[in-house]
Amino acid sequence: MKTLKYLKLPVLALAMLASGFVAAENSAMLELANARGCFICHAVVPDEKREGLPLGPSYDEVALRYRGDEKAFDRILDRVIHGTAYRQQAWEGKVAMRFMPPNVNLTRDEAAALTDWILGLDVEPELASKLVRHDNMMALATYSGCTICHGLDPVKDRRVVPLAPAFREIAAEYAGRSHAKDRLVQAITEGTLGSGSKTWENVNMRFMPPSVNVKREDAEALVDWILALDTHGIQRRPTAPKRN
């Protein structure tokens, strides 16, 4: 893979990434891209195990292609906002879709932030494999419906009561607890109503319904991912989950 010539990520952020954290900027951008549906068609780095063409180019490939092209930002920003239906295909033969539809659910500022982040990406192989996993898991969480209720990060506004605990809060809460994986896999596959009492006092929904369409191996992969999330700076809730 490429060298780190065109580095936009701060060195500290990269060091954190390399050491297993997903750094703040990446994390915010990954979540934004996820929330706006970009990962339905894109990945951050090409997934080598993938069979057949991806729907859209990976962001890493986009960054590589326009590296050093000073005018790329405006051009790509325009495409991210308006889609690419009316232009010649830029990724012909490399992607399965003929064009990107307009991303109508995106503000201009969000589009600019995402474009800037994408064009500045430069990913080391070790980091790449982490991002692939993160991507895949974000996508799996989205396909599996988890993100209807769960966010990756806790809501910033303390007055807002979220529907469900954020994945990073769950990671912080269960760090080092024995049987955490079994318990959480069971919570996902069977739901939490049967446990009789609510675990997370500070969320809006009383219980999690069973995720009946999620395969057990996917539930296990999701739990492994959740428990390995960066919990740096995550505050434990005033009302901590009951321990049973």
Residues that bind ligand HEC (CB under 6 A): 33, 36-38, 40-42, 55-57, 62, 76, 79-80, 84, 89-91, 95, 97, 99-101, 103, 106, 114, 118, 144-146, 148-150, 163-165, 170, 183-184, 187-188, 192, 198-200, 203, 205, 207-209, 211, 214, 222, 226, 241
Neighbours of 132 (CB within 10 A): 21
In the complex, minimum distance from the CB of residue 106 to ligand HEC, in angstroms, rounded to a whole number: 5
Burial of 191 (0-12, 13-18, 19+ CB in 10 A): middle
Look up residue 232 and give its two tokens. 């740096």
Q: Which CB sits closer to ligand HEC, 124 or 190? A: 190
Q: Which CB sits closer to ligand HEC, 128 or 200? A: 200
Q: Which CB sits closer to ligand HEC, 24 or 32? A: 32
C-alpha radius of gyration, the chain, whole number: 19
In the complex, minimum distance from the CB of residue 238 to ligand HEC, in angstroms, rounded to a whole number: 15
In the complex, minimum distance from the CB of residue 86 to ligand HEC, in angstroms, rounded to a whole number: 10
Q: Which CB sits closer to ligand HEC, 22 or 114? A: 114
In the complex, minimum distance from the CB of residue 15 to ligand HEC, in angstroms, rounded to a whole number: 26
In the complex, minimum distance from the CB of residue 5 to ligand HEC, in angstroms, rounded to a whole number: 20
In the complex, minimum distance from the CB of residue 195 to ligand HEC, in angstroms, rounded to a whole number: 7
Q: Which CB sits closer to ligand HEC, 11 or 109? A: 109
Q: Which CB sits closer to ligand HEC, 22 or 166? A: 166
Q: Which CB sits closer to ligand HEC, 98 or 232? A: 98
- SS3 letters for the chain? CCCCCCCCCCHHHHHHHHCCCCCHHHHHHHHHHHHCCHHHCCCCCCCCCCCCCCCCCCHHHHHHHHCCCCCHHHHHHHHHHHCCCCCCCCCCCCCCCCCCCCCCCCCHHHHHHHHHHHHHCCCCHHHHHHHHHHHHHHHHHHHCCHHHCCCCCCCCCCCCCCCCCCHHHHHHHHCCCCCHHHHHHHHHHHCCHHHCCCCCCCCCCCCCCCCCCCCHHHHHHHHHHHHCCCCCCCCCCCCCCCCC
In the complex, minimum distance from the CB of residue 21 to ligand HEC, in angstroms, rounded to a whole number: 20
